[in-house]
């Protein structure tokens, strides 16, 4: 039995995904829950599992194609499930009618048996893109009925023409209407290629045109004069223009104008010297990051408090504990120390561990401490979240942070693992930065950027005497939402972090 599988909802609020890679090919045997494809959404890269045990019969999406959730992407043949009554018919328009017909395949008509047995209707493979299938479902059109009399790739024009046909009219009348629609498309295509928009308008100039109110409304929105739209149809003896004809004409005008603009641009570019450059689509995760940063920057009034802290004792502590961590197969960096220090400082300054609920006009103080770690990846900055940092030991925090940041770089982090943060840390020092003005990861109210640890001369007091010594110094840049926090709140919070980083032994009490 044939089973068609639609792209599932792979994340909250996700409406479509880019099919990055197929992990199977037609003819491959698969088991239930076996990954068959990798799909990138605007949040993460996820594996799409097979819903059945069976054999891959057909792949209906190409690698690199953006597919809406709910569209069929793969067809399986499930062994041991026979077709009912020897008939293979689609379950509904939304699934079974979404196949593609190759150029050498014609729709199969009912076959008459020479033994006078009942005819068997074979499945019709219909060539139509997902957008056309959705339109057919919205208009209540059986797309296979169009394929019966319109061989070739089904277009939106075919669907709309079929939907506007009187269901009680003869088959010949339906065929005539589709033929007229096809002829109009041919005329529009020819017009677009050979004449300008002004010339195209003159080809159908007339004094009277009949059209329904909606068609007239759309024509006004598109800036189209109904008397200039070509048509072969008549109503009550007058030229009749359909809504689809208006849209086709407007599209033809736009295409012609676009070609004119491109020609002008090409002539202008011909006078410019060629310069080497490359272009990358601005989409997926990169686009989502940009939208989030723009919203944060233009919603929350950002203020950045900057300071530095002597972390000589921290450097010594990490050096001492590093070997012990390696014995547990854990790589110990400075980040877990900072995460624990921030969790302790958030407990002492709960107003920083807050978010603004604009809808209810409330400031929400969180009583849990989930720390996000900004991680640079090939796709952009991702923020895996380590939950309940306050309740975990240093090595446990280090292990979980290492594991999640690595999976973020590999693009295998799930969307759920990037939600629920209450505070974020960004380590700009890893690439040599010192100070920065990080953008808040909303709905959080603050974000901390860590600068590079450098040796600097500092005045050190010991036994009543002051000396200048080389010390390890880290810079801190705390950006905060001034709607929720004041400068004094930011300064007190930063002082709390400094306290724990200057003396990391205090973290043992947390």
423 φ, ψ (degrees, to nearest 5): -160, 145
Q: Are residues 376 and 462 in the same domain?
A: yes
Q: Are residues 344 and 480 in the same domain?
A: yes
Q: Of 268, 285, 315, which residue sits at a domain end?
A: 268
CA distance 297 to 442: 10
Q: Are residues 348 and 491 in the same domain?
A: yes
pLDDT of residue 30: 93
pLDDT of residue 205: 59
pLDDT of residue 357: 93
Q: Are residues 341 and 402 in the same domain?
A: yes
Residue 44 per-residue DSSP state: -
Q: Are residues 443 and 316 in the same domain?
A: yes
Which tokens sit at 410?
A: 């590999």
Mean pLDDT by 10 residues, the chain (510 residues): 86 75 93 90 81 93 88 89 48 40 41 40 46 74 63 68 57 46 48 39 64 84 89 85 91 88 76 80 83 90 96 96 94 97 97 94 96 90 95 96 94 90 94 90 96 95 91 97 96 97 88
R_g of the chain, CA atoms, integer Å: 32
Q: Of 268, 295, 318, which residue sits at a domain end?
A: 268
Q: Are residues 435 and 307 in the same domain?
A: yes
Q: Are residues 310 and 259 in the same domain?
A: no
Q: Is 294 domain-assigned?
A: no
Which tokens sit at 365?
A: 């103080």
Q: Is 182 domain-assigned?
A: no
Q: Are residues 432 and 481 in the same domain?
A: yes
pLDDT of residue 337: 97
Q: Is 16 domain-assigned?
A: no
H helix runs in 72-129, sequence order: none
For residue 473, give its domain range: 303-509
Q: Is 159 domain-assigned?
A: no
Q: Are residues 433 and 369 in the same domain?
A: yes
Specify whether 482 is catalytic: yes
pLDDT of residue 174: 46
Supply the pTM of this predicted model: 0.55
Using an 8 Å Cβ cutoff, are 89 and 96 in contact?
yes
Cα separations (Å) of 210 from 182, 214, 231, 234, 456? 21, 12, 11, 8, 84
pLDDT of residue 141: 79
Q: Is 8 domain-assigned?
A: no
Q: Is 106 domain-assigned?
A: no
CA distance 341 to 311: 12
Q: Which CATH number covers residue 314?
A: 3.30.559.10
Q: Are residues 487 and 399 in the same domain?
A: yes
Q: Are residues 455 and 316 in the same domain?
A: yes
Q: Of 220, 247, 268, which residue sits at a domain end?
A: 268
Which of the residues 168, 328, 388, 482 is marked catalytic?
Answer: 482
pLDDT of residue 131: 63
pLDDT of residue 129: 56
* Burial letters 112-145, b for 16+ CB under 10 A, else e: eeeeeeeeeeebbbbbbebebbbbbbeeebbbbb
Q: Are residues 308 and 231 in the same domain?
A: no
CA distance 231 to 242: 8
Number of domains in the chain: 2
52 Cβ neighbours under 8 A, 6+ residues apart: 3, 5, 30, 32, 76, 78
Q: Is 38 domain-assigned?
A: no
Cα-Cα end-to-end distance for the chain = 60
Q: Is 4 domain-assigned?
A: no
């Amino acid at each position: 039995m044939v089973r068609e599988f639609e792209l599932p909802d792979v994340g909250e609020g996700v409406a479509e995904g880019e099919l990055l890679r197929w992990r199977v090919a037609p003819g491959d045997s698969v088991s239930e829950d076996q990954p068959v494809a990798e799909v990138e959404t605007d949040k993460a890269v996820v594996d799409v599992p097979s819903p059945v045990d069976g054999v891959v019969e057909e792949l209906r999406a190409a690698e690199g194609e953006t597919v809406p959730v709910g569209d069929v992407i793969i067809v399986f043949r499930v062994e041991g499930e026979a077709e009912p009554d020897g008939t293979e018919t689609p379950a509904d328009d939304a699934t079974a009618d979404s196949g593609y017909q190759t150029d050498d395949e014609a729709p199969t008509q009912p076959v008459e048996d020479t033994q006078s047995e009942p005819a068997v209707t074979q499945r019709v493979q219909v060539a139509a893109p997902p957008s056309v299938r959705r339109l057919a479902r919205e208009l209540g059109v059986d797309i296979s009925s169009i394929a019966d009399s319109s061989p070739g790739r089904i277009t939106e024009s075919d669907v709309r023409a079929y939907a506007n046909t009187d269901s009680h009219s003869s088959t010949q009348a339906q065929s005539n209407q589709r033929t007229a629609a096809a002829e109009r498309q041919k005329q529009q295509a020819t017009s677009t290629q050979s004449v300008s928009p002004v010339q195209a308008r003159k080809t159908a100039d007339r004094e009277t045109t009949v059209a329904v109110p909606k068609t007239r409304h759309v024509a006004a929105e598109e800036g189209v004069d109904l008397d200039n739209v070509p048509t072969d149809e008549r109503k009550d003896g007058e030229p009749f223009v359909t809504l689809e004809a208006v849209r086709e004409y407007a599209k033809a005008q736009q295409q012609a104008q676009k070609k004119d603009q491109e020609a002008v641009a090409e002539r202008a570019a011909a006078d410019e010297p060629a310069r080497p450059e490359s272009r990358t689509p601005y989409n997926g995760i990169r686009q989502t990051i940009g939208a989030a940063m723009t919203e944060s920057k233009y919603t929350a009034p950002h203020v950045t408090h900057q300071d530095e802290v002597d972390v000589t004792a921290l450097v010594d502590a990490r050096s001492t504990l590093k070997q012990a961590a390696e014995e547990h197969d854990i790589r110990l960096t400075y980040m877990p120390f900072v995460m624990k220090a921030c969790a302790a400082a958030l407990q002492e300054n709960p107003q920083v561990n807050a978010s603004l609920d604009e809808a209810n006009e409330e400031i929400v103080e969180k009583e849990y401490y989930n720390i996000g770690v900004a991680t640079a990846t090939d796709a952009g900055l991702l923020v895996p979240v380590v939950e309940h940092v306050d309740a975990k030991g240093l090595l446990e925090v280090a292990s979980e942070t290492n594991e999640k940041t690595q999976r973020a770089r590999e693009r295998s982090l799930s969307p759920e693992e990037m939600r629920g943060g209450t505070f974020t840390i960004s380590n700009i020092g890893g690439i040599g930065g010192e100070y920065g003005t990080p953008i808040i990861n909303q709905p959080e109210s603050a974000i901390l950027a860590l600068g590079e640890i450098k040796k600097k001369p500092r005045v050190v007091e010991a036994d009543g005497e002051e000396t200048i010594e080389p010390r390890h110094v880290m810079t801190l840049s705390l950006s905060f939402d001034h709607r929720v926090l004041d400068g004094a709140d930011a300064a007190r919070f930063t002082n709390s972090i400094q306290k724990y980083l200057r003396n990391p032994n205090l973290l043992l009490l947390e």
